[in-house]
Amino acid sequence: MKLIILRDNLKNGLAAVERIVMDNAALPVLRNIFIDVDNGKMKISATNLEIGINKFINCKIIEKGKITVPLNALRGIISHIDSERVNLETIDQTLIIKTDSYQANLQGIKADEFPIIPQVEAKEGDIEMDGGVLKQSLSEIVSAAHISEIRPEISGVLFDFQITILKLVATDIFRLAEKTLYDYQFKTSMDRGFKAIIPLKTIQEIIRMVKDGENVRIKVDENQILFESDNQEIISRLIDGQYPDYEQIIPKTIETELITDRDKFMNAVKLVSSVSDKVVDIKLRAKESGKVLEIYSANHEVGENSYLVPIKTNGLEFKEITFNWRYLIDSLKVLQGEEVFLGLNGDNRPTIVKAVNEKSYHYLLMPLKNE
């Protein structure tokens, strides 16, 4: 293998895969990245045996070849090289890195010892959408996901594809977020739907790596899912199991509707939470015949505080409802509108949080029981 590559391009390629490289004593090759130079590009691959990432980088190829080398060592070298162009060459299992004033030799491992990143056998077509749409949609729901060893089926995001819509769902049982994408937001060659649970780590990598404006193709088979663009591939195993029948807990009616300014409400929650107790709870109380909302928290060791925000209400009056303030903030910070809608249903059924007039997204939040 012999090639010339721009330092910044190589640096970006290494950054794309670095978060899934494992410090695995039992399988040392997982500390390495796989470099394959062919077809006019360098392919950098990494895997943790759950997720595989292939990153494609333009370079000038003199000789084809492949090798695996330690990521940390190569990343440290490339981060500090001051030359814009870098020469890479392999002799046996050694990668030689050269510039006009620098040379390093890195000992690699045979390429055939690197785990094979499986191909997705997408026999029934794919889904295509803008990377920005995918990234934004996942960002809106990912905070509701939670890794659970007891219930692995909720340790990821549900993709519920129904031909004309794609629902993205995340839950940790105490809260749930659902985003619906419609057929004007994606193209598909598939003629039947599917449900797949994608691990949370994979979702986080997609949000990090996918760029606005790039075309992303999604392919799925029985065991894996692929997110593919022109210069990268993210391949992930799917989580086995049956996703909870979440639709049955979505309230069909709403007892009390509250509307208020999103930014003012969010800032009030942040301020009042400064003295909340260990279970991070805050209380919402209706004041002045439902024209004002009091956000209140107390801690017997610190003190108490409250904040008043104007609201518009409709429906049944309510006296008090308690929430985990961190969960409430998570629901508010991803909303797109200027006003927030809260649909309350007492203290034993989920509250709906969404932007006013929003139909494609909602966040369900279970109140905390008042003692």
Confirm or reject CATH 3.40.50.2300 for domain 250-365, answering yes or no.
no
User: What pTM was estimated for this model as a whole?
Assistant: 0.92
Strand partners, 258: 313, 342
The CATH number of domain 127-246, selected from 3.40.50.20, 3.40.50.300, 3.20.20.150, 3.10.150.10: 3.10.150.10
Spell out the SS3 assignment of 100-161: CCCEEEEECECHHHCCCCCCCCCCCCCEEEEHHHHHHHHHHHHHHCCCCCCCHHHCEEEEEE
Q: What is the pLDDT of residue 98?
A: 97
CB 213 within 8 Å of CB 132: yes
- Tens of each residue's pLDDT in the chain, 371 residues: 999 999 999 999 999 999 999 877 678 899 999 999 998 899 999 999 999 999 999 999 999 999 999 999 999 999 999 999 999 999 999 999 999 999 999 999 999 999 999 889 877 899 999 999 999 999 999 999 999 888 999 999 999 999 999 999 999 999 999 999 999 999 999 999 999 999 999 999 999 999 999 999 999 999 999 999 999 999 999 999 999 999 998 999 999 999 999 999 999 999 998 887 565 789 999 988 889 999 999 887 888 899 999 999 999 988 899 999 999 999 999 998 899 999 999 888 999 999 999 999 999 999 998 65
Q: What is the pLDDT of residue 122?
A: 75
Two tokens, residue 216: 């992303």
Sketch the domain layout of the chain as residue ranges: 2-113, 127-246, 250-365
Q: What is the pLDDT of residue 370?
A: 66
* Class at the top of the CATH hierarchy for domain 2-113: alpha beta
Q: What is the pLDDT of residue 165?
A: 97
- Topology alike, domains 2-113 and 127-246: yes
Smallest Cα–Cα separation from 84: which of 9, 2, 17, 3?
Answer: 9
Q: What is the pLDDT of residue 307?
A: 95
Using the 8-state DSSP alphabet, how is residue 82 labeled? -
